[in-house]
Copies of this chain bind each other. A is one copy, B any other.
Amino acid sequence: MLNQRGDLDKVFHALADPSRRTMVERLGRGPASVSELAKPLAMSLPAVVQHLAVLEASGLVKSEKVGRVRTCRIEPKVLNMAEQWITQRKATWESRLDRLGDFLAETAPETESEEKRTDT
């Protein structure tokens, strides 16, 4: 099984850095070596390797070394997990607004724009 909480922590944290997102974007277009990933980034190779480690720890990226080159590829399952969390948030939020709309339509069809419902 997959530990939702900790996994989401790692995925969102991995995506919270622009260099790492650049790497993920690059890998979306196909596998790449470490130095290919490094090319567009204005930092040392070791720094890139550290970012890669974060991406691998999150499960977003897998890599394999053949000869002296390490080839990295994206792992979309984890990306789906993050997407699902967001989608679910949106779903509950939207259904709440729907229910609120229904409620307003039912009880007070003339009072249109009432949103300040700190109901509790």
With A21-B8, A28-B92, A89-B79 as known contacts, state yes or no: A33 contacts B118, CB within 8 Å. yes
Residue of B nearest to A8 (CB): B21
- A77 touching B13 by the CB < 8 A rule? no
Tally of chain A residues near chain B (CB < 8 A): 39
A82 to B87, alpha carbons, bound, how many Å?
10
**Chain B residues near A85 (CB-CB < 8 A):** 15, 21
A120 to B30, alpha carbons, bound, how many Å?
9
A residues with CB within 8 A of B = 5, 8-9, 12-13, 15-18, 21, 24-25, 28-33, 36, 71, 74, 76-77, 79-80, 82-83, 85-87, 89-90, 92-93, 96, 117-120
